[in-house]
Structure 1
C-alpha cells in the first residue's frame, strides 16, 4: 500500500513538473503584466505565480479532464484580485495608467485571449461591464501614445 501511494505521489509530482515546464513562462508573463513589473525584476509577479501554482498543485488530483492551465490562470486572477492594492505603484511601464481592474481585464482579454463572458464570470461582472472596462483601458493606453494635434488635447485625439 505504501509503495502504491509513493508511486502515485511521484507520478503526480512528475505530471505537475511537466505542466509547469510548459505553462510557467506564459503564466509568469501574465503575472508580470498584471503587476506591471519589468521582466528583468519581477518579485511580485513571481510571488503571485508561485501562489497560483501552489493552489493548482493542491487541486491537481481533482483536475482530471479539466485544463490545468485554465485552473492555474483562475488562481492567478484570484490571487491578483485579492492583493491588487499592492500593485498600484508606478514603474514607468505601459500599463501604469490603468487601475488593477482595467489591467486585469486587459490582460485576460487581450493577452490571454479569454472570452468576454468567461472574463465576466471570473470577475463576477456582467459582460457589458467587462466590455466597458476593456474599451476604457484601451482608450487610456491609446491616449498615452497618440500625439496630440496642435490645439487639441490628447483626450480629444483619443475620442472621435
Structure 2
C-alpha cells in the first residue's frame, strides 16, 4: 500500500514539475504586468506566482480534466484583485509609482488588459471571473488600450527664472 501511495506522490510531483517548467515563465510575466513592476525587480509578482502555484498544487489531484494553467491564471487574477481591493478599498490609483509597461493604467484596467490581450481570455470569461458585465469589461479594455496607445501629454513644468535674474516690478 505504501509503495503505491509513494508512487502516486512521485508521479504527482513529476506532473506538477512539468507543468511549472512550462507555465511559470508566462504566469510570472502576467503577474509582473498586473503589478506593473519592473521586469527585473518584481517581488509582488513573484509572491503572486508562488501563491498561485501553491494553490494549483494543493488542488492538483482534484483537477479532473480541468486545465491547470487556467486554474493558476484564475487564482493569480483573483488574488491580485483581492489584494488591490483590500489595500486601497477599491480599484483606485496606486500609492506607489509603478514602473512596468502598463504603469499608466489603474489596477482594474491592467487586470482586464492582461486577461483579454496578453492571456487571450474571452470577454465573457473575464467578466464572469471578475464579477462584471461583458459590456463593462469591453468598455474598460477599450479605455485602457486607448490610454496605452495615446497617453495624455506630460504636464509642462512652470518656467523658472534664471538664477540671479531681476524681476521688473
Q: Same fold (TM over 0.5)?
A: yes
Q: Which has the larger radius of gyration?
A: 2
Give the corresponding residue for 1:130. Answer: 137
The residue aligned with 1:151 is none
CA distance in 2, matches of 1:77, 1:93: 17
Residue-by-residue CA offset, 1:121-157 (whole Å, 9 max, x unaligned): 110111000001001111211221789xxxxxxxxxx
CA–CA distance in 1 between the matches of 2:128 and 2:98? 30
Whole-Å separation in 1 of the counterparts to 2:75 and 2:28? 13
Match of 1:91 in 2: 98
Tell me if structure 2 keeps the 8 A contact 1:102–1:133. Answer: yes
1:40-119 to structure 2, matched below 5 A, reads 40-84=40-84, 85=87, 88=94, 89-119=96-126
Name the structure with the higher helix share: 1
How many residues align? The count is 147
Distance (whole Å) between structure 1 residues aligned to residue 46 and residue 65 of structure 2: 27
SS for the counterpart of 1:19 is: helix
5+ long unaligned stretches in structure 2: 155-169
1:72-124, CA deviations, whole angstroms, 9 ceiling, x for partnerless residues?
Answer: 10110111011124792213433222111110000000101111011001101
Question: Which residue number corresponds to residue 39 of structure 1?
Answer: 39
**Cα RMSD for the two superposed structures:** 1.8
**Structure 1: segments with no counterpart, 5+ residues:** 148-160
The within-5 A match list for 1:2-21 is: 2-21=2-21
1:24-58 CA distance string (max 9 Å, x none): 00000000000001111111100000000000001
Question: Which aligned segments of 4 or more residues in structure 1 are displaced greater than 6 angstroms?
Answer: none
Name the CA distance, whole Å, in 2 between partners of 1:54 and 1:31: 15
In the superposition, the TM-score normalised over structure 2's length comes to 0.82
Q: Distance in 2 between matches of 1:110 and 1:146?
A: 25
- Normalised TM-score (structure 1): 0.86
